[in-house]
Amino acid sequence: MNEKWNRSFSELIRRSRPAYWGNWALNAQVQPGAIGIVDPHSGDFRLVAETLPNLKVKRLPVSNSWQLLSEKVSRTEAKTDVSGEITDPESGVKGEAGVEVSWSMSQEGSIASEFSLREEAYLEELTQVEKNQAWLAQQAAGVGFGGNGEIAQGFGVITGVLYANSGLNVGSQSKDSAFAIAGRASAVHEMLGGATAKGSFTSVRKAKSIDKHLWPDHANTVASGPVPIAYTFASFEGKLLIPNWVSKIGGFEIFFSNQPGSTYIVAIELSYKVGDKTHNDSFEISGGLSRTVGNIPLNATDIRVKARFKGVINSDTYERSWARPLGQWLTGQRHIDMYGVWPGATHFSVREEPQSGG
């Protein structure tokens, strides 16, 4: 069941942080420099070795709160009486105004994730991974993810971790599920978005058909330390480092689409380098048609696309280039949309790069 939750959690995170995997169950083994296997279907991390040799980590404080809600989730807050419950573990204060925060989920599989962020910790340099490649290949071979000095995709190193002081992940296991926590108003608000690391709750009010992971994980306590909630991961294809690995990719693909209704013929020139050799391809696409160029090797560099909208007198030309696509194309793909009705304006855009429209 956790596979489903972590996959959905990762998809939700990637709307704003495209290179991240989620850590739904708050697995404490998720640490910068940890070596292991990431299941490409779920994002679950399985530890193989504690850390890279001679690990150097940088830490950057993060003070903003984290709130991710999937569709069909409603969040409400209401005052409640918690005066009769156990006193606050930090201050010993009793009788402060209470609050109940509730999440109602009308659909099965809905997610609410709220945390008080603390810091991002990441490898000082990615070269730490490359320098240890031979050693990593030995570790990979020991768990069936490599051989002959090569490493299979899915095995690698956690390169960055997002930590929180406190918070919760909640998922609905059936329709019309609900979950709520209650406690002193200041403590509950700290738990879900403060910066003091002293957030707490006094009770779980209701939990109908819910998969939940709370930090702190017990009522009337404060968290013992920060908790990892998301991470980035570097893997390999043979001896080729994939800096931000989010799925298995066999080669790069570019999807060209001259949109329906477009009256321009677009002439495409495509080139890329593999080692010292340059590969070239050229073709034309009429309105309403598309073309896919696949099997571009993962070690390709300097991919260049030139698109010329063929006009009667003048032609509009657009160009895009990617020096190192292995670090830029997280899914190994680019979708290029083209459109124009002569003699009007032409348009060229890359879906994965919203600011690139022409």
Query: What is the pLDDT, as a whole number, of residue 15?
Result: 93
Residue 346 falls inside a structural domain: yes
Domain boundary among 242, 277, 292: 242
Mean pLDDT of the chain: 92
| Residue percentage of the chain with pLDDT more than 90 | 85
Same domain, 290 and 341: yes
Domain boundary among 174, 207, 242: 242
| Separation between Cα atoms, residue 23 and residue 17, nearest integer Å | 14
| 236-291 per-position pLDDT tens digit | 999 999 999 999 999 999 999 999 999 999 999 999 999 999 999 999 999 999 99
Query: What is the pLDDT, as a whole number, of residue 133?
Result: 96
**Cα 105 from chain centroid (whole Å):** 23
Length in residues, the chain: 358
Same domain, 49 and 146: yes
Q: What is the reported pTM?
A: 0.89
pLDDT for 356 beyond 60: no
Query: What is the pLDDT, as a whole number, of residue 209?
Result: 86
Question: What mean pLDDT comes out for the span 202-222?
Answer: 90
Same domain, 229 and 257: no
Can you list the pairs that 13-16 forms with residues at least 24 positions away whose Cβ atoms lie under 8 Å? 13/68, 13/230, 14/246
List of residues 6+ apart from 275 with CB closer than 8 A: 299
**Cα 46 from chain centroid (whole Å):** 18
Residue 247 falls inside a structural domain: no
What CATH number has the domain bearing residue 336? Answer: 2.60.40.1430
Same domain, 130 and 152: yes
Query: What is the pLDDT, as a whole number, of residue 95?
Result: 58
Same domain, 60 and 164: yes
DSSP state of 238: B
Same domain, 256 and 237: no
C-alpha neighbours within 13 Å on the C-beta side of residue 178:
10
Question: What mean pLDDT comes out for the span 316-344?
Answer: 94
| Separation between Cα atoms, residue 27 and residue 158, nearest integer Å | 13
pLDDT for 301 beyond 70: yes
pLDDT for 227 beyond 80: yes
| 19-74 per-position pLDDT tens digit | 999 999 999 999 999 999 999 999 999 999 999 999 999 999 998 889 999 999 99
Question: What mean pLDDT comes out for the span 299-324?
Answer: 92
Same domain, 162 and 18: yes
3-state secondary structure of 208: strand
Domain boundary among 223, 242, 261: 242
pLDDT for 85 beyond 70: no
Query: What is the pLDDT, as a whole number, of residue 187?
Result: 94
Question: What mean pLDDT comes out for the span 95-120?
Answer: 92
Name the band, by pLDDT with cuts 50, 70 and 90, for residue 92: low
3-state secondary structure of 3: helix
Instruction: Give the number of domains in the chain.
Output: 2
Same domain, 97 and 176: yes
Same domain, 133 and 174: yes
Question: What mean pLDDT comes out for the span 214-230?
Answer: 95
Identify whether 354 is preceded by a cis peptide bond (ω within 30 of 0): no
Name the band, by pLDDT with cuts 50, 70 and 90, for residue 94: low
pLDDT for 358 beyond 70: no
Residue 9 falls inside a structural domain: yes
Query: What is the pLDDT, as a whole number, of residue 1?
Result: 47
Strand 98-105 relative to strand 57-61: parallel, antiparallel, unpaired?
A: unpaired
Same domain, 264 and 348: yes
| Residue percentage of the chain with pLDDT more than 70 | 94
Question: What mean pLDDT comes out for the span 109-115?
Answer: 96
Name the band, by pLDDT with cuts 50, 70 and 90, for residue 208: confident
Q: Which of 78-82, 98-102, 231-235 has the lowest mean pLDDT?
A: 78-82
Residue 293 falls inside a structural domain: yes
Q: Which domain holds residue 288?
A: 252-356
Query: What is the pLDDT, as a whole number, of residue 275?
Result: 94
Q: What is the CA radius of gyration of the chain?
A: 25
Same domain, 65 and 91: yes
Same domain, 155 and 298: no
